[in-house]
Structure 1
Amino acid sequence: MLEQIEENPEIPVKAVQEQFQRRFSVGISRMKAYRAKFIAKKHVEGDYAKQYTLLRDYANELIQQNPGTTVKIEVDANPDPGNNTRQFRRIYVCLAALKQGLKAIGRDFLVLDGAFMKGPFPGQLLSAVGVDCNNGIYPVAYAIVESENKESWTWFLEILGDDLGLGTYSNFTFISDRQKGILPAISKLFPCAEHRYCLRHIHENMKVSFKGDLYKDKLWNCACATTVPELSVAMDDLKAFNKKAHLWLSKIPPLHWSRAYFSGRAVSDIVLNSMCEVFNGKIVEGRDKPIISALEYIREYLMRRIVTVLNVMERSEGLLTPKATEVFEGIKRDATAYHVQWNGGGIYIRHAVAAIWEKAANRGRVGALESWVHPVYTVERWKQVYSFRVNPINGRTLWTRVHAPTTITLPKHHTQVGRPKKLRKRSAVELKEMTQSGRLSKKHTKGACSKCKKTGHNSRTCKGQGEAVKTGKSGKSGKAEKKRKVMVSLLYGLFLVT
């Protein structure tokens, strides 16, 4: 069983039953198979409580195998100096390879987001994700904190700033969905930073009062405007369509969401925080594991992802990355519709690609057209970014024991009631749209019993209410009828055996 769980932790219980039957020629119940899987999984992944005591050993092993990695553990202060235990509060991880890779990309741009942890000691997983040369996600740092607030975001961004060499007056670019506490944290630590707001979340808030695709289209027209005059025209168009919607959008400063006000330092005009959402989706299975197992799940995913990108590189041809090539081909198609006028010197009018073609036609030295593209989109830069590797670590029996005066204990959280949820919590607007699209929600509805077709109970707790109503019999007669059916089923089973 241990070998099965190590190879496939999510093996179905039915498969466990079948393998046990084939191996030992003995059948076991589904519940026994489930308990065996649970015990084996607990042995492989480790106990939730015990893993907190091993955090320092894990952090030390991670740093030893990946020199340059930053791991910060914070515990709650204990007013009793004689107490040798400290409650866990937060942990931050920034792997050296990812830190070096982000600097090699050359984009001062990070997407920030938080996601819920699962299990008996839930918290928040904060993440910082960049954009690589192929416009793919590039996770940089992650942390497990007690909750998403100003204090935890300040702690996370302060350590991240030290890792990336960001000072108080750095002109870095961040994008977020304006989570609780993140706005004051960025304003405090990086007052000169460019902070973009996720346009999808702006649209989610807008849909509460202004519904319809026309509002969405006009919002995107405003966000995609690349010049201030173009933005003014788009805003006037929205005002003519609906003055209240224009007033609502005007309250959000456009420097946070319109490309017309973006500085260009980030070499990216992204207006969505989907990079973090993709990352959170990739590690969703690890967010309900014990803390070290969860951190290892993330590290292993990051290690595998580098290998995946390297395989894509081997199949790539040309000077630019695949995504950049695709976009550039579209730009060249658009350039064929432009007419360029040259002034005889170094000035052209209209489209850049069309201007380069015109310069080549006038015997100018332009070289390959792709050589004019920003270096961040080249295959050469792409390979440099992924030349840094995330190294594996040893098994727990080989970890060096860290001797500390205190022991880390469980955080101040309690076991949540109910089954842990895997999917992202949908907004009220999304739930309403799902209902309108025909996918009705069963929330606040009473299910009917499959036996008697009455509400208020299910088939397992059914006591024959429907039969009594249908036949006009008393409850006692209903019980007698149920007992008769049990006897018939037993006799039928006996007949099959004989």
Structure 2
Amino acid sequence: MMLRNVNACTASFLSQHIAETIAPNPDIPIIAIQEQLQRKYAINVSVLKSFRAKAMALNKLREDYVEQYGKLRDYVLELQRTNAETTVKLHVEIGANPSSPTRRFRRIYICFGALKKGFKACMIDLLGLDGCFMKGPFPGQILTAVGIDPNHGTYPVAYAIVEAETKSSWTWFLECLGDDLDLSRNSNFNFISDRQKGIVPAIASLFPCDEHRFCLRHIHENMKLSWKGKAFKDHLWKCATASNVPMFNKAMDDFKTFNDAAYKWLKEIPPQHWSRAHFTGRCHSDILLNNICEVFNRQLVNGRDKPIITALEHIRQYLMKKIVTVQRVISKCDGPLTPAATKLLSIIKTEAVQYTVLWNGRNKYEVNGPWQDQCVVDVEERSCSCRRWELIGMPCKHAVATIWFMALNGVDVGLPENWVHKCYWLDTWMNVYSFKMAPINGPTLWPKSNCPTTLTPPTHHVQVGRPKKKRKRTADELSQSIVKGSKISKVGTTVTCAKCHKKGHNSRTCKGI
């Protein structure tokens, strides 16, 4: 079939059909648009005219960005109508004219009642805090609070769209979160985040008694600005993973011997923010990285450049699907503990076999093993001098050896699984995901808000150039990236031959079988 000339088509015709093409994916390349037009309408469109038509189509799509702010109050009413005990807080700019019929959008906070109840049922009082960029003509920041479920998976609790990641926005977000989770100034809670300038003072002012951990990856990124290399990273991790103060002090002394300047820099960061030896055991988790937020933020990538309601719906639908997906996994599990806890305890049992135990005649036991880590276990207090039992709520290798010793001597202690904290039990995991999020109707069935004012989008200055879609990488990440062009680099890896199973060459260069 001969292709019709593009001059026979008007720009409005092109823009209409290109709008249909790019609506699901605004970043579709021009070449792909040309091919689709040729296949569907037999039209040969030049690149220049495709750009013009795409620009007109994008302008039409941007009108939806503005329109959705006007429907935001109706969306809030629908969420609260369908999902009981859901908290939605909408914050607008304070204008100079109170009688104005419009109000400019500033922030929105959402915490579903099901997620609120599920997090409290987790019994792991720790939340990761992070922010990621919104895209589109009215960008801002998505603030997230993500917990840990009994299977060491992510459990998102609340999220918000704010104007920027500042002390003011984080304070507002944490105030809303504190109201939902019943947190006060005297509460004993745990947060983990990067050292973002807005989060640190916000937590310190609202929850001065809470434990605030700093993500070790961000500390390492800052360290790499002056001290690069695997040796520095290994020393940092050795200090951070030490589970008690004597081990921590020894690791710090080794670091000081290795490099005094780096030691002094690290010492300036209070160890209660980044070292397990100084963590309390009240949250039953010893995590050092804020990966729980990174995992959740990765799920939001495809919704961050959409209009505000579409973006919020992308998050809500993901959360609703996640609950169902995890529940399917739970239905296939058996055993007293969750799969992750079972795997961890099996590793601990393997190590515990090599330990010997001495009893003091009361409730304390001296445990010694091949790694020269003699410790004292107190079964009444459920503690060990290595502090691992206290930190994660699961018996350490010294404690498991003690439990076996007690069983061999006629004490009815049951299995080691019985000594694991309830936050790792399969029943707890089932209870967490028993709280379901209710689906909502489409926009035509939403209740209408009686508010006399109309919401308008926030002001935004459009930057010159093409909007960035990917996270900015540090110089060190770019130099050591595992991705080279379109392929994964194999620098630093050792290949194994598929024929002779020897290392150092592949099957194509193998000289013998």
Task: Identify the residue that residue 461 of structure 1 maps to in structure 2.
Answer: none
Identify which of 190, 199, 223 aligns with 1:206: 223
Match status 1:418 vs 2:473:
no
Match status 1:167 vs 2:184:
yes
The amino acid of 1:391's aligned partner reads A
Aligned length: 438
Instruction: State the 1:36 CA deviation.
Output: 8.8
Task: Identify the residue that residue 271 of structure 2 maps to in structure 1.
Answer: 254
Task: Identify the residue that residue 308 of structure 2 maps to in structure 1.
Answer: 291
Separation of aligned partners in 1, 2:150 and 2:52: 47
Q: Do 2:62 and 2:137's aligned partners in 1 also have CA atoms closer than 8 Å?
A: no
Q: Residues 44-59 of structure 1 correspond to what in structure 2 (within 5 A)? A: 47-59=64-76
1:100–1:33 distance in 2 versus 1, CA, 3 Å: farther
Q: Do 2:213 and 2:274's aligned partners in 1 also have CA atoms closer than 8 Å?
A: yes
1:97–1:352 distance in 2 versus 1, CA, 3 Å: same
Q: Do 1:45 and 1:293's aligned partners in 2 also have CA atoms closer than 8 Å?
A: no
The amino acid of 2:441's aligned partner reads N
Q: Larger Rg: 1 or 2?
A: 1
Q: Do 1:119 and 1:415's aligned partners in 2 also have CA atoms closer than 8 Å?
A: no
Instruction: State the 1:429 CA deviation.
Output: 2.8
Q: Deviations over 1:208-244 (max 9, x none)?
A: 1111111101110100111111100000000111111
Instruction: State the 1:273 CA deviation.
Output: 0.8
Instruction: State the 1:162 CA deviation.
Output: 0.2
Q: Classify the secondary structure of the residue corresponding to 2:213.
A: strand
Task: Identify the residue that residue 349 of structure 2 maps to in structure 1.
Answer: 332
The amino acid of 2:469's aligned partner reads K
Separation of aligned partners in 2, 1:270 and 1:409: 41
Match status 1:126 vs 2:173:
no
Task: Identify the residue that residue 274 of structure 1 maps to in structure 2.
Answer: 291
Separation of aligned partners in 1, 2:29 and 2:465: 21
Separation of aligned partners in 1, 2:149 and 2:297: 17
Identify which of 182, 194, 203 aligns with 2:211: 194
Match status 1:177 vs 2:194:
yes
Separation of aligned partners in 1, 2:136 and 2:26: 16
Identify which of 410, 434, 440 aligns with 1:387: 434
Separation of aligned partners in 2, 1:312 and 1:25: 46
Match status 1:95 vs 2:142:
no
Separation of aligned partners in 1, 2:252 and 2:470: 36
Task: Identify the residue that residue 257 of structure 2 maps to in structure 1.
Answer: 240
Instruction: State percent identity of aligned pairs.
Output: 58
**What is the Cα-based RMSD across aligned positions, in Å?**
2.8
The amino acid of 1:104's aligned partner reads A
Q: Classify the secondary structure of the residue corresponding to 1:134.
A: coil
Task: Identify the residue that residue 125 of structure 2 maps to in structure 1.
Answer: 108
Separation of aligned partners in 1, 2:432 and 2:44: 52
> Which has the larger displacement, 150-159 or 404-413?
404-413
1:5–1:317 distance in 2 versus 1, CA, 3 Å: farther
Q: Deviations over 1:307-346 (max 9, x none)?
A: 1111211222211111111111110111011111123433
Separation of aligned partners in 1, 2:309 and 2:402: 56
Q: Do 1:46 and 1:290's aligned partners in 2 also have CA atoms closer than 8 Å?
A: no
Q: Deviations over 1:228-264 (max 9, x none)?
A: 1110000000011111111111100101100011111
Instruction: State the 1:425 CA deviation.
Output: 1.5
Match status 1:228 vs 2:249:
no
Q: Do 1:71 and 1:93's aligned partners in 2 also have CA atoms closer than 8 Å?
A: yes
1:14–1:363 distance in 2 versus 1, CA, 3 Å: farther
Separation of aligned partners in 2, 1:352 and 1:194: 26
Separation of aligned partners in 2, 1:285 and 1:267: 33
The amino acid of 1:276's aligned partner reads C
Q: Classify the secondary structure of the residue corresponding to 1:264.
A: coil
> Which has the larger displacement, 366-375 or 323-332?
366-375
More helix by share: 1
Q: Deviations over 1:286-314 (max 9, x none)?
A: 00001110000000111111111112112
1:365–1:199 distance in 2 versus 1, CA, 3 Å: same
Separation of aligned partners in 1, 2:469 and 2:339: 33
Task: Identify the residue that residue 476 of structure 2 maps to in structure 1.
Answer: 429
Task: Identify the residue that residue 140 of structure 1 maps to in structure 2.
Answer: 157
Separation of aligned partners in 1, 2:164 and 2:93: 14
Task: Identify the residue that residue 335 of structure 2 maps to in structure 1.
Answer: 318
Separation of aligned partners in 2, 1:43 and 1:302: 30
Instruction: State the 1:4 CA deviation.
Output: 8.5
Separation of aligned partners in 1, 2:155 and 2:216: 21
The amino acid of 2:267's aligned partner reads S
Separation of aligned partners in 1, 2:358 and 2:329: 41
Task: Identify the residue that residue 363 of structure 1 maps to in structure 2.
Answer: 410
Separation of aligned partners in 2, 1:35 and 1:187: 52
Match status 1:77 vs 2:94:
yes
Separation of aligned partners in 1, 2:449 and 2:241: 53
Q: Do 1:196 and 1:271's aligned partners in 2 also have CA atoms closer than 8 Å?
A: yes
Separation of aligned partners in 2, 1:168 and 1:239: 37
Separation of aligned partners in 1, 2:291 and 2:248: 24
Structure-2-length-normalised TM-score: 0.79
1:114–1:428 distance in 2 versus 1, CA, 3 Å: same
Q: Do 1:21 and 1:27's aligned partners in 2 also have CA atoms closer than 8 Å?
A: yes
1:246–1:64 distance in 2 versus 1, CA, 3 Å: same
Q: Do 2:89 and 2:109's aligned partners in 1 also have CA atoms closer than 8 Å?
A: yes
Task: Identify the residue that residue 465 of structure 1 maps to in structure 2.
Answer: none
Instruction: State the 1:159 CA deviation.
Output: 0.6
Separation of aligned partners in 1, 2:144 and 2:431: 23
Q: Residues 387-466 of structure 1 correspond to what in structure 2 (within 5 A)? A: 387-434=434-481, 439=484
Q: Classify the secondary structure of the residue corresponding to 2:88.
A: strand
Structure 2 gaps of 5+ residues are 1-16, 368-397, 487-513
Task: Identify the residue that residue 347 of structure 1 maps to in structure 2.
Answer: 364
> Which has the larger displacement, 31-40 or 260-269?
31-40
Separation of aligned partners in 2, 1:286 and 1:7: 11
1:393–1:235 distance in 2 versus 1, CA, 3 Å: same
Instruction: State the 1:9 CA deviation.
Output: 8.6
The amino acid of 2:417's aligned partner reads E
Separation of aligned partners in 2, 1:309 and 1:103: 17
Instruction: State the 1:8 CA deviation.
Output: 8.5
Q: Classify the secondary structure of the residue corresponding to 1:341.
A: strand
1:439–1:44 distance in 2 versus 1, CA, 3 Å: closer
More strand by share: 2
1:438–1:412 distance in 2 versus 1, CA, 3 Å: closer
